[in-house]
Structure 1
Amino acid sequence: MTLAFTVLGIVAPVFLLAAIGFFWVRFGLDFDTGFVSRLAMNLAVPCLVFVALSNGEIDAKDAGRLTLATFATYAAMLAAFLALCLALRLERRTYWAPLVFGNTGNLGLPLALFAFGEAGLGYAVVVFSVTAILQFTVGVWIVSSGGTPLRALREPMVVATLLGALFLWQGWRVPPVALNALDLIGQMGIPLMLLTLGVAVARMRPTAFGTVAALALVKLAICAGIAWGTGLAFGLGEVELGVLVVQLSTPVAVSSYLLAIRYGADGEPVAGLVVVSTLLSVAALPALLAVFV
């Protein structure tokens, strides 16, 4: 029961901020989705990621093993969801990347901290950094329908992730004044993303929810199963395994919707996946945590 209330406490602000965006549009007020998404993705979220990574502390050997396991898990998930998209004739630009990449940041990080303590948070940052790198390289390549993944190296999010990972690896520390400024800017990221999500939901067609509900269930089962099997194959410890499974079982990330909008994919079903999978996580994540805690 405590875990359920904890997850609810983490998820509730997500719905509150999304509801503000939802009713903002329903009341007929203007919302420039393009401007807000650019502000979030080019400034606020990169600062958020850099601060989270540069402040992390974890043993280098454990981090290396977990990093390899995370990359291997994502490789398997990319193959599995590509096969699913082909089998169900789903538009790959719209569905493939969102089904692979979960909300390992603003949901996964605090959940790992509560369930596994400071050590768990350190491991979760490693998974989060791998997620960010892949989402803004391979994920951008998928959503933008071709080109080279190297184009993503121009993305502020990728630069921030690589720079933050370098600080984590070298044990460097950002001067307090600069860190506080970056942290303040980064705090805009999650509210901006969630407000944009609420706007998207307000503009959705109601018929979109049937398909995304089934896909959200399939995503949870496939991601949890692959992460569990890969973690065992790599010989991860109990905490590392728990973090990997929980992090990669998180719901569809809000950033997936922003990327869909930015690169011209169909944003409505992605927004539906975010909402439905997040609702599902209220019950699913405590059940997963109960196995490891």
Structure 2
Amino acid sequence: MQGVFTGFATIAVVIGVGALLAHLRIVDLDAQQILSRIAFFVASPALMVITLSRADVHQVLSANLVASIAGVVVAAGIYVALARWLWHRSLGETTIGALSAAYVNAGNLGIPVASYVLGDAAFVAPTLLLQMLVLQPLGLAFLDADAHGRTSSLWQVVSGPFKNPLTVGSLIGLLLSITGWTLPSYAADPLRLLGNMAVPCMLIAYGIALRLGPGLGKAGSRAELASTSVLKMLVQPLVAYLVASLVLGVEGHALLAIVVTSALPTAQNIFVHATRYHRATVLARDTILITTVGAVPVILLVAALLG
């Protein structure tokens, strides 16, 4: 259990640094925008090249992936239905809300949790690849289409993600993993150094927004925030558990890994996307906060029941 607390404590400290810097007026919301842009255009793509180049892509075809997809589809699908029929959100707002309800923190939190709690960082690889290569490109395609103010053609939807630096970085990393190629040190070392900025930039920018933005639940719909939080913390891991255990027959430690991975909180980079496209930034921010805090008891409970 120490790995769970260590992962969450690390995130909390770095977010706290951002909030403290904002409180002391060392930085402002302009700084938060700059940090988010650096993370989006430079640091995160570099991180994806390095991370995915070392991932075992064969695990994408595992039961872990099937159960994870089920959890994502149900959680995101429920939110999309509510957003379109009840709250009448735009395409961009609906996209950010759906990602907030189903896109897990598989990187800077999932990797340490998989390493220390599950005993192998490879358990998070299928989810990481699914999100980077499928969910994120689709989400960014919808956000790009919404930002243009017109309905995109099929070619724009298909080609749009390949113009996004995060998608390009992910595809380069996947290509390196599949082919077994290794980047020379003069290319890998700078990428690794730039990639190391990604998580701190995201978390500090998030802390600044927490301190200087509207208070929790003071902007937007509290019912909508409650929906994204419940879908992420409870519905997604529950669906993954039911599919894995009842449909796929997964048992033991493998089942624990699937449920714990699905119970991870909403990823901070959803807030980066929301900020970049100016869509549902408060909903993304507050969902990340609630699910990050709430994931601790949820994962501990899952570990106690299935461990």
TM-score interval w.r.t. the shorter chain? 0.7 to 0.9
Partner of 1:194 in structure 2?
A: 203
Contact 2:79–2:101 at 8 Å: present in 1 too? yes
Question: Do residues 122 (structure 1) and 131 (structure 2) align?
Answer: no
Q: For 1:239 and 1:126, how far apart are their aligned partners in 2?
A: 16
**What TM-score, normalized by structure 2, do the two folds share?**
0.83
1:85 to 58, 83, 86: 83
Partner of 2:190 in structure 1?
A: 181
Partner of 2:176 in structure 1?
A: 167
Shift in CA distance, 239/149, structure 1 to aligned 2, threshold 3 Å: farther
Contact 2:70–2:239 at 8 Å: present in 1 too? no
2:302 to 278, 288, 292: 288
The CA deviation string for residues 78-128 of structure 1, in whole angstroms up to 9 with x for no partner, is 32221243465263244222112111111111101112223xx22312211
Partner of 1:222 in structure 2?
A: 235
Structural RMSD (CA): 2.5
Query: What's the CA shift for 1:284?
Result: 1.2
Contact 2:274–2:280 at 8 Å: present in 1 too? yes
The CA deviation string for residues 13-52 of structure 1, in whole angstroms up to 9 with x for no partner, is 2111111211222222334233221211111112212212
- Counterpart mapping for 1:21-170 below 5 A: 21-31=18-28, 32-57=31-56, 60=58, 62-65=59-62, 66-86=64-84, 88-89=86-87, 91=89, 92-118=94-120, 121-144=121-144, 145=146, 147=152, 148=157, 150-170=159-179
Query: What's the CA shift for 1:177?
Result: 4.5
The CA deviation string for residues 130-189 of structure 1, in whole angstroms up to 9 with x for no partner, is 112234222223444363253122111111212222222333333345333322211111
Kindly tell me the number of residue pairs found equivalent between the two proteins. 286
Shift in CA distance, 174/110, structure 1 to aligned 2, threshold 3 Å: same
- Counterpart mapping for 1:245-260 below 5 A: 245-260=259-274
Question: Do residues 208 (structure 1) and 217 (structure 2) align?
Answer: yes
| Structure 1 unaligned spans of 5+ | none
Structure 1 counterpart of 2:33, which letter?
Answer: G
| Structure 2 unaligned spans of 5+ | none
Q: For 1:234 and 1:150, how far apart are their aligned partners in 2?
A: 35
Structure 1 counterpart of 2:34, which letter?
Answer: F
Q: For 1:250 and 1:219, how far apart are their aligned partners in 2?
A: 8
Alignment partner of 1:116: what SS?
coil
Moved more, 209-218 or 238-247: 209-218
